[in-house]
Amino acid sequence: MLSIDLSGKRAFIAGVADDGGFGFAIAKALAEAGCKVSVGTWPPAMGIFETLLSRGKIDEARKLSDGSLLGFELVVPFDADFDAMELVPEEIKSNRRYRERGDFTISGAAKTCVEKLGEQPFDVVVHALANGPEVKNPLLQTSRKGYLAAMGASAYSFVSLLQHFGPLTKPGGSFLNLTYLAAERVVPGYGGGMSSAKAALESDTRVLAYEAGRKWGHRVNSISAGPYASRAASAIGFIQKMIDYYAHASPLPGELGADEVAHTAAFLASPLASGITGTVIHVDRGYSAMAVPHDLDSLITPIMAKKEG
């Protein structure tokens, strides 16, 4: 029987801080396939995440099909805004949520993983994070600082992840990021430069697939996921409306499940996807295939009636 088997493999997932997002769902799917998982967590959220784990608050969400609980080999501090400690402003270093976390930069996370797990510990690396401080602002009202912040945290951080974790990943490894349809089409309300960051992320996926493929034999892919009510996605303010609309308008009606994205990630991480790289795979129940809503008449009729009146 053909199945996804990641026994003996190790994965690092950047961007897991609770049990509610795609990153956690991907961690679960990889673990179900036999993979050992480490995660990188944003330092300000790390204390809460560690408490949730130690007190069993998310044990139900961590439950695997065999009754065991999803465990993490490592939970390391990971701030996607910074590549090295010498680039971190002093006010961040001295912040109480950071100062006891050691080296929380991307290069620091890489060093910690090598120290704890040995040379080239990983087979799979997942970028499951994004941030746009002005995401609620229309692009015309987005500042240069907000725009560049979105690009840095949401797009360049994946480049940096390849730079630092590429050498830590065994030849033939799988790198994966998460994008959104706003990279290709207009999504009113998804602002602050986030649509630009997602477009950059998809372009970088193709370039990095070439560069990392030739250098290390790694595959680099992207999943364009439909809307999902994670805590991070709720920041845009209209996520439930998007979920409801997708569920109504998609070829496969109904809400997208995090497991549908996670299972695709597990496939892309496996040898079954050995010939796939430089690709953006839409996991949105087919919404991206639609040019117009299936109930176009019901939308147009009131508009026409108003014009005629």
Which tokens in the block code for residue 100? 């006891």
Closest residue by Cα to residue 138 from 190, 196, 198: 190
Q: Give the bridge partners for 220, in sequence order.
A: 175
The DSSP element (H or E) to which 169 belongs, if any, is: strand 169-179
Answer yes or no: are the C-beta atoms of 12 and 110 closer than 8 Å.
Answer: no
Answer yes or no: are the C-beta atoms of 209 and 251 closer than 8 Å.
Answer: no
Answer yes or no: are the C-beta atoms of 33 and 61 closer than 8 Å.
Answer: no
Bridge-based pairing of strands 122-127 and 75-77 is unpaired
Report which DSSP code applies to 255. P
The answer to whether 180 is a known catalytic residue is yes
Q: How far is CA 191 from CA 219, 236, 237, 238, 270, in A?
A: 30, 9, 11, 12, 34
Report the C-alpha gap between 155 and 204 in whole angstroms.
8
Q: How far is CA 146 from CA 93, 135, 155, in A?
A: 21, 8, 14
The answer to whether 98 is a known catalytic residue is no
Three-state DSSP at 219 gives: strand
Q: How far is CA 48 from CA 42, 44, 123, in A?
A: 11, 8, 28
Active-site residue identified among 98, 156, 190, 228: 190
Residue found under tokens 């990188």? 40
Q: What angle do CA 22, 26, 29 make, to 5 degrees?
A: 140
Bridge-based pairing of strands 36-41 and 75-77 is parallel
Active-site residue identified among 147, 156, 180, 246: 180
So which residues are the catalytic ones?
180, 190
